Structure 1
């Protein structure tokens, strides 16, 4: 399952997701363009399968003068950079929808560890040790439904490794529906430095 079948499911789900959600993608694109200067999409270097970097796509939820390559939860005062529509998109995770194209391209999977920044050295090192870097990063994963931004690096990496060791269709289905519930409740979303 973890290779061929999982990839086929990723292609089907991302393709159908793009088609079904195309009205939402269009409306959000218009709102972003109308409410703040800058591009609709935010592209950023992330670490992919086997530590191969790729450009992740997101709807731009922050101003163009936001410090680059800094995770939002590490910013001193992220609220000053988040746009009005961005606040809504981040709370509902709608800013992540363009990653359906990353999944379709084969850079990501629907389920897997969230792709890290190249400069998150501690997280990347731990993922290398526990095998989590050997699989495609995901739109959502075990760490996402277990605390998300509130998790410490070691805990997040352990959950990523736990998932990488045992990838099954049943687990992916469970994580997919758990993510929907987590998004509805806005679980684990933390803006700004975690003390």
Structure 2
């Protein structure tokens, strides 16, 4: 009952409550993004949603306009603290995870949940093997089991298996634990950037940042 009904109800209630606070963040962060690097405030990233449906995931733009798409040797998105593509405000909103807050709109639209597997790129659908497509059984999350406990420290394939573990044991109590663990990780700014170990594993896999 929680997975199929109450989870969505709680998502909507919490997202609507949080919306005024996010609008305040938008009013402050939006103009700074524009002033530092003229262009769109948002970055609309295509991602895989529930049942493989592609949707636009909203983020505050943290990189310079027309920045090149850099990848690690495992095919994952390059993500480093000294990334020259990041604007000054971009470095700050990455570290504080404020760049992810526009996904509140995705929750209201029904594309995402507060807690769930982090969504992959559309091209990653062709890379799934065995039972890995199971991560598409539920809505992707703004945060999730991986994001809370491992963030960017483990390879993509391991993240998928953790996503499947989350789906199998999904419960109200597990979501509560993930929510508060995420809050602690964000406040401590733990594991924001991918480690060398995590990017060298699974050479033919990708990862969503």
After TM superposition, the structure 1 stretch with the greater mean CA deviation from structure 2, 73-82 or 108-117, is: 73-82
TM-score by length of 1: 0.90
- Quickly say closer, same or farther: Cα 1:186–1:108, change in 2 above 3 A: same
**Conserved 8 A contact 1:14-1:104:** yes
8 Å CA contact retained: 1:73, 1:149: no
* Closer/same/farther in 2, CA of residues 164 and 95 from structure 1, 3 Å limit: same
1:145 CA drift (Å) = 1.5
Distance 1:126 1:20, change over 3 A: farther
SS of corresponding position for 1:46: strand
Q: Aligned residue for 1:47?
A: 48
Q: TM-score, normalised by structure 2?
A: 0.85
* Partner residue in 2 for 1:36: 37
Trace 1:1-195 onto structure 2 (pairs within 5 A): 1-68=2-69, 74-75=77-78, 79-121=83-125, 125-126=128-129, 129=132, 131-190=134-193, 194-195=199-200
Aligned Cα root-mean-square deviation (Å): 2.4
SS class of match (2:30): helix
The Cα shift of 1:121 comes to 4.5
CA distance 1:73–1:153, shift in 2 (3 Å): closer
* Contact 1:10/1:103, CA 8 A, preserved across alignment: yes
The 1:192/1:65 distance shift into structure 2, 3 A limit, reads: farther
State the distance in 2 between where 1:136 and 1:83 align. Answer: 31
After superposition, the Cα gap between the structure-2 partners of 1:118 and 1:69, relative to the gap in structure 1 and judged at 3 Å, is farther
CA displacement, residues 132-169 of structure 1 (integer Å, 9 cap, x when unaligned): 11100000000002221221122101110000112111
3-state SS, counterpart of residue 131 of structure 1: helix
Do the aligned residues in 1 keep the contact of 2:144 with 2:178 (CA within 8 Å)?
yes
Aligned equivalents of 1:57, 1:108: Cα separation in 2: 11
1:35 is displaced (CA, Å) by: 1.1
Paired with 1:44 and 1:144, the residues of 2 have a C-alpha distance of 18
Greater shift after overlay, 69-78 or 79-88? 69-78
- Counting matched residue pairs gives 194
CA shift, 1:28, in A, is: 0.6
